[in-house]
């Protein structure tokens, strides 16, 4: 059994919060993701909280009530902050200490004298407004799914889908951090230059708006400028995971991306889910890294992870769903578009982080790395409309007779993710939602 699995993962644990004991809950006591919230409709300052069932444990109130006594003063102070950045900076020992304390507080069983203080620190999710978990200083988007790279490459280069560098180096680009928004924020259809007849551009709203099903990795302590991070130390700098929708205007992107890469076709919005699931919570769902084909190059020594063949990947299932304005009016359920798995990344999270810092680039607490579109080998595991519709050539059929090549105004895209394994409790990442507006 993985040495990182401990008593907080015990499948027999039950919570004093009954909703957390529902097998379908994303937030059982074995999960305990962190986020930032404030009471809905108020000007109250944001607080750090832990999701448990359909409630939020307010860590600032826990600290005020003495429920965190015995933890380090730095850790208690970080729990009282208005963002997760201070907590992110403290590192795995502090994160694990907090997880064990919260797990103990929320367990069902013995009656305790502090039971009343726990209940006084709980807030219904329905009464909370989720905030950005931290001010994201920098955002990097990778291209780590080989299936996605092959599928997209085949649309533009049928005889040579993968470029020569793909299997040697993690491909990424620096994204726009200022336009990252929390789940539920409307996404306005962007305008930009689009290639017209005879390669003469026009400036208009995008006609090829797409989503990208991704997972994000928040950085913990990070490194000093000029000091790389060894791959053996990489996980100590991974705070946790969230869902990411890296919206894309494909027609704007097509016209602008050569020779320097994505710009306005990407920078208009990126949506993230509000709850960050810790690497420790995902310990039971670790799997070997992606099995490379015979003949694939061996990663260069700085990217060779001794733990990769044992636990380099994460068995996390990801789903993309869509509900249109017409579907809502007809009371239809969201339509499942695709299912993928984070374990299908060609490059592991540790390799992405290590490569990013290998030139001495300083990663800082609260920085965000994204996986790139997660696609699998099957047609139903393609993580964006560009792949699913073959660049619009094969429209999707929606309930009620609608079709979609790309997203229309009023469409809402919903991402979900969960991890499950026999002998352990299912945990989830919650939802990442965004509706397109004109």
The string of pLDDT tens digits covering residues 137-188 is: 999 999 999 999 999 999 989 888 999 999 999 999 999 999 999 999 999 9
- Token pair belonging to 390: 């073959």
> How much is the pLDDT for 110?
64
pLDDT computed for residue 1 by the predictor: 34
Phi, psi of 70 (to 5 degrees): 100, -20
What's residue 159's pLDDT?
Answer: 85
Helices marked H in 285-365: 308-311, 325-329, 349-357
By C-alpha distance, which of 409, 182, 414 is closest to 276? 182
pLDDT at 138: 98
pLDDT (average), residues 337-348: 97
* 8 Å CB contact between 395 and 319: no
pLDDT at residue 4, rounded to an integer: 85
Q: Quick one: pLDDT at residue 111?
A: 57
Dig out the tokens for 54 from the structure.
């359909």
Percentage of residues in the chain having pLDDT higher than 70: 98
- What's residue 184's pLDDT? 98
pLDDT of 66 above 50? yes
pTM for the model:
0.96
Distance CA 311, CA 283 (A): 9
Dump pLDDT digits (tens) for 384-434: 999 999 999 999 999 989 999 999 999 999 999 999 999 999 999 999 999
| Lowest mean pLDDT across 109-118, 264-273, 296-305, 315-324 | 109-118
Task: Give the whole-angstrom CA distance, residue 334 versus residue 413.
Answer: 9
What pLDDT, on a 0 to 100 scale, did the predictor assign at position 214?
A: 98
Residue 134 pLDDT > 60, yes or no? Answer: yes
State the catalytic residues. Answer: 148
* Residue-averaged pLDDT of the chain: 96
């Amino acid at each position: 059994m993985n040495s990182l699995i401990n008593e907080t993962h015990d499948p027999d644990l039950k919570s004093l919060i009954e909703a957390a004991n529902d097998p379908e809950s994303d937030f059982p006591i074995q999960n305990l993701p962190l986020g930032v919230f404030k009471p809905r409709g108020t000007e109250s300052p944001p607080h750090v909280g832990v999701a448990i069932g359909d409630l939020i444990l307010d860590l600032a109130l826990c600290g005020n009530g003495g429920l965190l006594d015995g933890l380090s003063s730095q850790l208690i102070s970080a729990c009282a902050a208005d963002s997760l950045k201070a907590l992110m900076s403290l590192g795995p020992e502090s994160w694990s200490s907090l997880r064990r304390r919260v797990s103990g507080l929320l367990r069902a069983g013995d009656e305790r004298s502090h039971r009343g203080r726990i209940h006084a620190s709980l807030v219904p999710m329905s009464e909370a407004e989720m905030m950005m978990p931290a001010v994201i200083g920098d955002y990097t988007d990778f291209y780590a799914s080989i299936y996605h790279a092959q599928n997209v490459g085949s649309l533009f280069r049928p005889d040579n889908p993968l470029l020569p560098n793909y299997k040697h180096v993690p491909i990424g680009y620096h994204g726009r951090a200022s336009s990252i928004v929390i789940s539920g924020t409307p996404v306005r259809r962007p305008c930009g230059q689009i290639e017209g007849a005879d390669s003469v551009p026009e400036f208009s709203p995008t006609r090829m708006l797409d989503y990208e099903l991704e997972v994000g990795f928040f950085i913990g302590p990070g490194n000093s400028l000029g000091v790389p991070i060894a791959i053996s130390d990489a996980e100590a700098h991974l705070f946790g995971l969230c869902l990411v929708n890296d919206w894309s205007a494909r027609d704007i992107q097509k016209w602008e991306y050569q020779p320097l890469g994505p710009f306005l076709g990407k920078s208009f919005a990126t949506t993230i889910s509000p709850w960050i699931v810790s690497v420790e919570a995902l310990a039971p769902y670790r799997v070997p890294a992606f099995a490379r084909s015979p003949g694939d190059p061996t990663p260069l020594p700085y990217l060779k992870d001794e733990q990769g063949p044992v636990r380099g990947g994460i068995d996390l299932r990801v789903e993309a769903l869509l509900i249109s304005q017409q579907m809502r009016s007809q009371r239809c359920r969201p339509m499942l578009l695709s299912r993928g798995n984070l374990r299908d990344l060609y490059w592991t999270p540790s390799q992405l982080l290590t490569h990013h810092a290998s030139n001495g680039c300083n990663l800082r607490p609260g920085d965000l790395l994204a996986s790139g579109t997660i696609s699998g080998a099957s047609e139903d595991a393609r993580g964006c409309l560009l792949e699913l519709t073959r660049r619009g050539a094969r429209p999707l059929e929606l309930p009620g007779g609608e079709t979609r090549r790309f997203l229309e105004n009023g469409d809402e895209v919903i991402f979900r993710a969960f991890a499950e394994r026999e002998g352990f409790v299912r945990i989830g990442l919650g939802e990442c939602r965004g509706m397109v507006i004109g």
